[in-house]
Amino acid sequence: MKRQNNLLHIENRAGLFRSAPLLFALAILTCGDPAANAATARAAGIQEGDLAQVHVTAISETGTVLFSSRREVVEGDVWVKDPNFSAPRPLIPEEVVAGRESRIPGLGKAVLGLIPGETRKLTLAPEEAFGTPDPNLRRDFPCERTVPRSLRMPADRYLQLAGSFPKEGQDVHLIPYLQCRVVKVEDAAVVLEFSAEDGRRIEEDFGTVSIRVSEADIRTRLQPRLGASFTVENQTGRILSSDGDRFTVDFNPPRMGQSLTLDIEVLSHLPAATFSDAEIEWASEFDKGMARARQEGKPVVLVLYADWCSWCKRFFHESIEDVRVKNTYDRFVWMKINSDVEKQFKEKFGQKGFPMIVLMSPEGEVLNKTEGFMDGGAFSRDLKVFFEHL
């Protein structure tokens, strides 16, 4: 099913041009002046909220390719690809809503004013690309830590670390590289005994850990590896520096503070007004929706939702109303069912969470199921891939 192109009809109204000289002068002014032509084309370029289909290659500050939708880049060996390189799967052009955020930083603004067939290469400053680093996300840690061989720990702290109630004689793992045994359980505290192998060295991805044991305490010392990843409290950062006593870890996103170069080619452009009247004709009864799908030969998008689900509301109000999704309205039969009420559908499709999006063939064969919220960009990509592989 192909989209029918809108036809633009230009009508000459009687009396608009009253003389041949005027027509001739107008032709000279508009057709004979290249600058005027360019200005006219620019005025008809991509505007805020329009839907643009583009090829784009995103290049890091160091010259490696982070993302590309171009086959020659993805499959070729001329470009140096970043270790975190990604590409659309399958390899299709990127759809972007002009002026809005996209998965590629700055792309939405970069297409403004362009026209189909036009190319543009620009470098975004760090604040326009990945953002500027937050100094509060850089933290210092000691290279050496000392733990007494015998330690009385408050009971609530023990529960927090161990995740269970203490038992005398129990071996537990509380501190990396150290063995720990519960020797006594008191009303408000737990007495622990730590042990370790003196002189042991452990090679980790983030550096070398050495252990020294004395009668009174155990010392662990890290010789950090600069540039390595370091995880603490479920946060992962990169080791920036060390003076031997302390080391600094940057928990800012890896690309933050770097510029980004975008190489863009506009393939097509649909004005936002194209979708201003687009509405989904929802089917709320499963059997009637499937009958309509078979009659029209269209695949089915079924959304299983609950009235209390905030993510469902956001999906209907934001994702479904995204122009990238609106561009697919006429390709599918759309159904929505409150499976929190009609629980047979929750069981039928094995639903565990809300919302659930089920994609089916016109005959009702389930071809894909997704649980949880998806933004308009991700949802439209799923729909496009699903439709093109039917």
Q: Which CATH superfamily is domain 278-388 in?
A: Glutaredoxin (3.40.30.10)
Bigger pLDDT: 75 or 389?
75
- All CATH 3.10.50.40 domain ranges of the chain, comma separated, are 46-132+258-270
Give residue-wise pLDDT tens across range 338-368.
Answer: 999 999 999 999 999 999 999 999 999 999 9
3-class secondary structure per residue, the chain? CCCCCCCCCCCCCCCCCCCHHHHHHHHHHHHCCHHHHHHHHHHCCCCCCCEEEEEEEEEECCCCEEEECCHHHHHCCCCCEEEEEECCCCCCCEEEECCCCCCCCCHHHHCCCCCCCCEEEEEECCCCCCCCCCHHHEEEEECEEEEECEEEEEHHHHHHHHCCCCCCCCEECCCCCCEEEEEEECCCEEEEEEECCCCCEEEECCEEEEEEECCCEEEEEEEECCCCEEEECCEEEEEEEECCCEEEEECCCCCCCCCEEEEEEEEEEECHHHHCCCCCCCECCHHHHHHHHHHHCCCEEEEEECCCCHHHHHHHHHHCCCHHHHCCHHHCEEEEEECCCCHHHHHHCCCCCCCEEEEECCCCCEEEEEECCCCHHHHHHHHHHHHHCC
Residue 388 confidence (pLDDT): 81
More confident residue, 33 or 237: 237
Chain segment 173-207, per-residue pLDDT in tens = 999 999 999 999 999 999 999 999 999 999 999 99
Numbered ranges of CATH 3.40.30.10 in the chain: 278-388
Residue 40 banded pLDDT, cuts 50, 70, 90 = very low
Is domain 46-132+258-270 classified as CATH 3.10.50.40? yes
Whether the pTM exceeds 0.85: the reply is: no
Higher pLDDT, 14 or 88: 88
Q: Is the pLDDT of residue 6 over 60?
A: no
